[in-house]
Amino acid sequence: MTDDIAIDRTKYDQASEERLTYKASPGITEELVRRISQRKDEPAWMLDLRLKSLKRYQEKPLPTWGPSLKGLELDKIHYYLQPDAKKNSTRWEDVPEDIKQTFEQLGIPEAERRALAGTGAQYESEMIYHKLKEELKKQGVIFLDMDVALKEQEALVKEHFNKCVPYNDHKFAMLHYATWSGGTFIHVPKGVKAEQPLQAYFRMNAERGGQFEHTLIIIEEGAEASYIEGCSAPRYDTSSLHAGCVELFVKKGAQLRYSSVENWSGNTYNLNTKRAIVDEDGIIEWVSGNLGSGTTMLYPTSILKGNRSKAEHLSISFAAEGQHQDTGAKAYHLGKNTSSTITAKSISKTGGTVTYRGVVKVNKGSTNARSNVECDSLMIGNNSVSNTIPLIDVKDKTAKVGHEARVGRIGEEQLFYLQSRGLDEEAAIKMIVSGFIEPITKELPLEYAMELNKLIELEMEGTIG
Amino acid sequence: MINKDHAKLPDKRPEQARRRLEAIGKIHNLPLPLLKEGLSTAIDSDRIPKELHNKSYHQTTTHLITNESEATAKPFDEANEQERALIKRHRYSLIDPHKDRLIALQQAASDNGILITIPPRTKLEKPINILSEYDTNGFTHILIIARNGSEATITRNIKERRGGDETGLICEAVEIIAEEHARITYNEAQDVSRRTAWYSQKKARAGPRAEVRWYSHVTGGSLTKQDTTTLLEGKDAKSASLATMLLAGEQHENSTTNAHHAAANTTTRMHAKAIIGGSARMLHRGLIDISEESPGAEGYQQGDALLTGTEAEADIIPQLEIKNADVACSHGATVGNIEEEDLFYLQSRGLDEERARDVIAEAFLISITAHAEEDEQWKEEILSIIKAQRGTT
């Protein structure tokens, strides 16, 4: 049974040969920021924003809470890497052979063959492959590389960029706004319902690289869309940094599902900021899987601004030896009759640390807010650590907020039952684990669900003895 | 005025005086207690009287002790030589007197305390009752030593005699040492003036098979800061921390309950319930910390707030830190208000709205006794505390 699901971790960990047309020297300087902007031929307002962010970044100390960032050598990171490939090819054949191989190994064209609505792939700092199904194009859906969007859709970008996650939000947002490159831009016009998911894949290849993609999604009034992204990086001995930023705008009566499976290599610092602003009657759904990466600090946030807006967060975090997954979810209830549901599952295995850090905040005057948070942790093996730090902050007496959490190990009875049905212990544990994460996998498109399942299975290997 | 003279005032023992001098020297370098956590509701630290050293600390605190048992319960200054040695050994053995400015002040200014010792294998049938009455400011230390296999309940009422507008400060420290197989229940009802800041540090150490149970009911204080910690150091040790709070007006409350598991098969139950009216604010944090040395540990934690005031605010942070996979832990938290349906039901049975709200609120607090179901005596103590204080508000 384990045979057909066995996968080869090396396909993620292996680095391809570096072929870059431009590799910035390590460290970040004003000169570099100007250079990035110049190479991209950006409008002046963007350069101003970059410089403003850089200035704040240089003044701001590292955060003192959360996991240790000691191993993060910010001066040694290459902040901008441009691969040797035509930007935004629409034909898969145009993509250079080695890059293509990497993505093929990761299953991108496979996914597209299964008729996902659109695909974008980002290698290092630039988007290199991009395709959007004809039907969606006709309906006016825009799916672009963020750099191109800045040129072709400047007005839309300017209206929303830096408006959901402000550049001065925290140290790594400042860094992001100074050095951002690539990412996804999606605009779904009023009333359009994109039935199939749009997807992007981000890959960091170079040693000591940094990836700072910016994703901006705008779902206009009454429109619906689903977007999914996957992320990976090869394994080096030195640390690399991913500080992406995701800004989501869900307008009146619109609906967006944002899914991501992040599987960075074990020495990546994944310090990501994801946030959505939801207007009246809008719905945001987050589905996230956090595996890989050495240290993750990621708390997708829903700002429920409009009356009757809704947020649903569903996530799984997995930490094996040496990993610290500090993840969670935040919901800010600002409108009236808003609701949020947060389901966070985590697995910590031998030597891994998972932390759930969450916030549910109900403002004064945000009447009849409803929120329910459920955290479920599974601990396997020795030396694993599971922390739960939820903050519930209620300033309106009409609110109803509930939080529940459980931490435990695999039940002897469950194990015994499966073993009595002929499974060996390892297979039984794998089966229990895949049952534990099922609420998340069943919400993902098939390939991503398979990938998530396989990755966790792989991580579980050798758990016994 | 707290100064070097003050150190000599209340008692002439050189040991005591030396300790005071040391503490006085350090007070102003220490931080005030932490009243805010991350993004939480701000608890107003201005309510701690600012000029601590300009206040008069010649307190007239009286402790009325009712003890009909073979256990010892007496003020520190009536201790015999043997008891003084015990005090010397155990006082501040659990609580760090340099943790913050207020506990340092408590160490410096406390003129007296109460020592309770329960002899080995002695089970007290009746609780030891203490009525502590303060004037304006006060500093008290309670030290409880429960010997092997002993069992006792201590119930304490904290009141303030004075009226008037002056802002006061009361600092207390409670330390409990529960030796092997001992069982200590410590109940406390605090009803001080709504102009007084009440600060209380409580810490217990539970040896093998020992059990420590805390219950606290808070209704008074302009600002309440209470930290209750149990160290589960012996195998099979147990702890329970129950708390109820009835806040109104502009009261601010900040409390933490902590259980540190450091041995195998230890268990913890924590539950805090608060009714928050007016524009009162509460910040409650619970922490269950399970170390690598405690396989088979079990933890339960719950925090519930009922917001009845239009300007009321609640923050609950139920925290778990688990470093051992062989564990069963759960926690939960709820914040809500009185259900219209429940109100309607009671009103349809002939209660007016105000009475109906009272009944619901009382039932909300009383349900804390679900954790004392197996012990009729503890349940009765909790019930009588809640009912007595409900009557006065």
Judge contact between A407 and A379, C-beta under 8 A: yes
Digit-coded pLDDT (tens) for A319-357: 988 899 999 999 999 999 999 999 999 999 888 999 999
DSSP structure class, residue B176:
E
Per mean pLDDT, which range of A222-226, A312-316, B15-19, B114-118 is the poorest?
B15-19
Closest CA to B275 of B335, B325, B319: B335
The answer to whether the Cβ–Cβ distance between A388 and B319 falls below 8 Å is yes
When mean pLDDT is compared over A126-135, A438-447, B93-102, the highest value belongs to B93-102
Distances (CA, A) of B93 to A217, A241, B88, B107, B151: 58, 46, 9, 13, 22
The answer to whether the Cβ–Cβ distance between B310 and A397 falls below 8 Å is yes
Element (H, E) at A88: none
Give residues with Cβ within 8 angstroms of B227, minimum separation 6.
B200, B201, B202, B255, B256, B257, B258
Based on the number of CB atoms within 10 Å of its own CB, is B176 exposed (0-12), middle (13-18) or buried (19 or more)? buried
Adjacent-strand bridge partners of B287: B258, B319
pLDDT at A99: 60
Residue A277: pLDDT band (50, 70, 90) is very high
When mean pLDDT is compared over A195-209, A319-333, A431-445, the highest value belongs to A319-333
Look at residue A239 and tell me whether its pLDDT is greater than 80. Answer: no
The answer to whether the Cβ–Cβ distance between A386 and B320 falls below 8 Å is yes
A324 in contact with chain B, both atoms CB, cutoff 8 A: no
Distances (CA, A) of B293 to B76, B257, B262, B322: 36, 21, 6, 11
The answer to whether the Cβ–Cβ distance between B41 and A393 falls below 8 Å is yes
In terms of DSSP bridges, do strands A255-264 and A283-292 run parallel, antiparallel, or are they unpaired? parallel
A403 in contact with chain B, both atoms CB, cutoff 8 A: yes
- Report chain A residues whose CB lies below 8 A from the CB of B329: 405-408
CA–CA dist B363, B368 (Å, integer) = 9
| Closest B-chain CA to A376 | B330
pLDDT at A2: 36
Q: Please identify every stretch of chain B with a pLDDT value under 70, giving residue numbers as ranges.
A: 1-25, 37-42, 50-59, 111, 163-164, 389-393
Bigger pLDDT: B237 vs A118? B237
**CB nearest to B326's CB, from A389, A390, A409:** A409
The answer to whether the Cβ–Cβ distance between A400 and B319 falls below 8 Å is no
**CB nearest to A393's CB, from B40, B322, B328:** B40
Other CB atoms within 10 Å distance of the CB of residue B296: 16
Look at residue A110 and tell me whether its pLDDT is greater than 60. Answer: no
Digit-coded pLDDT (tens) for A174-186: 999 999 988 889 9
Query: For residue B210, how many C-alpha atoms fall within 13 Å in the half-sphere facing its CB?
Result: 29
Q: The tokens 């969670």 sit on which residue?
A: A328
The answer to whether the Cβ–Cβ distance between A395 and B37 falls below 8 Å is no
| CA distance, residue A326 to nearest chain B CA (Å) | 13
The answer to whether the Cβ–Cβ distance between B320 and A409 falls below 8 Å is no
pLDDT at B92: 93
Bigger pLDDT: A18 vs A421? A421
Residue A457: pLDDT band (50, 70, 90) is confident
| Amino acid at position B16, single letter | Q
Question: Is the Cα dihedral A430, A433, A435, A440 positive or negative?
Answer: negative
pLDDT at A322: 87
CA–CA dist A360, A302 (Å, integer) = 10
Judge contact between B37 and A65, C-beta under 8 A: no
| CA distance, residue A328 to nearest chain B CA (Å) | 13
Judge contact between B308 and B340, C-beta under 8 A: no
Distances (CA, A) of A378 to A293, A327, B198: 19, 15, 40
pLDDT at B206: 98
**CB nearest to B309's CB, from A385, A392, A397:** A397
Angle, alpha carbons B342-B347-B351 (nearest 5°)? 120
The answer to whether the Cβ–Cβ distance between A382 and B325 falls below 8 Å is yes
Closest CA to B238 of B270, B211, B263: B211
The answer to whether the Cβ–Cβ distance between A399 and B312 falls below 8 Å is no
Mean pLDDT value across chain A: 83
| CA distance, residue A65 to nearest chain B CA (Å) | 9
Digit-coded pLDDT (tens) for A263-273: 877 788 999 99
**CB nearest to A403's CB, from B41, B313, B333:** B333
Distance of CA A390 to the CA centre of its chain: 21
A351 in contact with chain B, both atoms CB, cutoff 8 A: no
**Can you spell out the DSSP letters for B304-340?**
EEEE-STT-EEEEEEEEEE--SSEEEEEEEEEE---H
Adjacent-strand bridge partners of B66: B129
Bigger pLDDT: A109 vs A459? A459
| Amino acid at position A87, single letter | K
CA–CA dist A31, B214 (Å, integer) = 62
- Report chain A residues whose CB lies below 8 A from the CB of B315: 391-394
Look at residue A258 and tell me whether its pLDDT is greater than 80. Answer: yes
Judge contact between B116 and B73, C-beta under 8 A: yes
A389 in contact with chain B, both atoms CB, cutoff 8 A: yes
Question: Please, which residues 187-216 of chain A have a Cβ atom closer than 8 Å to chain B?
Answer: none
Q: The tokens 């001066």 sit on which residue?
A: A75
CA–CA dist B390, B388 (Å, integer) = 6
The answer to whether the Cβ–Cβ distance between B315 and A382 falls below 8 Å is no
Q: Tell me how many residue pairs between chain A and chain B have CB atoms under 8 A apart.
A: 121
Look at residue A220 and tell me whether its pLDDT is greater than 80. Answer: yes
Judge contact between A357 and A299, C-beta under 8 A: yes
A390 in contact with chain B, both atoms CB, cutoff 8 A: yes
List residues in chain B touching A: CB distance below 8 A. Answer: 37-41, 292, 305, 307-337
pLDDT at B42: 66
Bigger pLDDT: B106 vs A251? A251
Mean pLDDT of A135-158: 90
Torsion from C-alpha of B127, B128, B133, B139, nearest 10 degrees: -120
The answer to whether the Cβ–Cβ distance between B322 and A400 falls below 8 Å is no
pLDDT at B279: 93
The two tokens of residue B296 are: 């088979």
CA–CA dist A323, A355 (Å, integer) = 11
The answer to whether the Cβ–Cβ distance between A389 and B319 falls below 8 Å is yes
CA–CA dist B278, B309 (Å, integer) = 4
Q: Mutate one of B320, B334, B342, B360 to test the A interface: name it (highest A CB count within 10 A).
A: B320
Annotated domain spans of chain A: 3-460
The answer to whether the Cβ–Cβ distance between A380 and B325 falls below 8 Å is yes
**Can you spell out the DSSP letters for A308-373?**
T-EEEEEEEEEE-TT-EEEE--EEEE-SSS-EEEEEEEEEEETT-EEEEEEEEEE-TT-TT-EEEE
Question: Is the Cα dihedral B247, B251, B256, B257 positive or negative?
Answer: negative
